[in-house]
A = this chain, B = another copy of it.
Amino acid sequence: MPDHTRPPDKRATIYDVAAEADVSPSTVSRAFSRPSRVNSETAERVRQVAERLGYRTNPLARALTTSRTRMIALVIADITNPVYAGIVRGAQETAMHDEYTTVLIDAQESDRLERAAIERTMSTVDGIVLASSRMSDSAIRMFAKQRPVVVLNRAVADVPCVVTDNPRGVRRAAEHLGELGHDHITYVAGPQASWPNGIRWRSLLEAGMELEIKVRQIGPFSPTIEGGERAAEELRARPATAVLAFNDQMAIGLIRGLTRMGVDVPGDVSIVGFDNTLAADIVTPGLTTVAAPFYAEGSAATRHLLTMIEGAPGHAGRPMVLPVRLVVRHSTAVRRNAGRARPWVRQRQSANPATQLS
């Protein structure tokens, strides 16, 4: 004899509610998923019974027929990089606002891991945000064929993208250094495979042309403090008075490395970073850096993804570009050594000259 009393540890289903409210399961289902198809009094009664029984619609069961899970995947290259905190929060908050849940995937800078994790998760999510993906364009396009995908911090043809205005950021940094009298900027490169690294260098080349500032590149180095310290070593052999680093971590490594070598920042060398992470404000001297709107990035990418999930086409044409700004702190200063020769011969001078903020 089947026992129809539900064991108390199990969640109530529409069938339990239906029995209790004396309607059919379909009515219960509709009372929640499309209330307009149900008499409002009936719907109310159903809702009350459901409340009393602690009923919650099972998202998995729903997903089985609707193929909508209300989950999205957010794939980031490296969660230990503080840059992603803002992106994650922006994405998470935007998703949560529309009652979507975010699945976070940390690719740990590995193409292989990234792929495997997406492969495994793809069928469970309604869409994917790829933040700084390390995968090939073609791999990304392949995923984009199966699910809505938005790419962050990178431009991939035929896939909707959200990027920050790297050219403008670089340009502002170059202008700033130019105004301080620097006529030569060294770019300390990050990972060759990184899309922002490429565009930042190209933007610097271009800005150099227009502003009549000479530019060169050293690297690539690892985009970490250690990478920056190694870059400092290399800089010893080929001195500079103005440096633009791929990111803040490297800029901080540079400050450290140079300071240890007895080079004064910004007295002897001005340094500009990229990202405006928390650390930029903590390091001494405070790092002049190009601020990216991380929260807005995550938020914009997610919002766009959600509209695609709802059926919008997705502007695969031009990437969406978010504005950046230059935050001037104390790692940049007026160029002191007008002459070319031996720019790093120490001339004692104690404190950091004050610099105006923008």
Contact = CB atoms under 8 A, between A and B. Distances in A.
Contacts of A123: 11, 56, 58-60
Nearest to A69: B60
B80 A108 contact: no
A85 B82 contact: yes
B64 A93 contact: no
A276 to B, nearest CB: 14
Interface in A282-334: 282-284
A11 B113 CA distance: 23
A89 interface: yes
Contacts of A60: 60, 63-64, 69, 123-124
Contacts of A283: 282-284
Number of this chain's copies in the assembly equals 2
A144 interface: no
Taking residues whose C-beta sits less than 8 angstroms from the other chain, chain A's interface range is 35 or more
Summarize A's interface: helix, strand, loop or mixed.
helix
Contact of A106 (B71, B89, B103): B89
Interface string A152-164: 0000000000000
Contacts of A53: none
Contacts of A11: 123
A244 to B, nearest CB: 20
Nearest to A287: B282
Contacts of A121: 101
Interface of A: 11, 56, 58-61, 63-64, 69, 71, 79-80, 82, 85-86, 88-89, 92-93, 96, 99, 101-106, 108, 113, 117, 119-121, 123-124, 225, 252, 278-279, 282-284
Given A71-B103, A279-B282, 13 more contacts: A11-B123, A60-B63, A60-B124, A79-B85, A82-B278, A89-B106, A92-B105, A96-B117, A101-B121, A104-B104, A252-B282, A283-B283, A283-B284
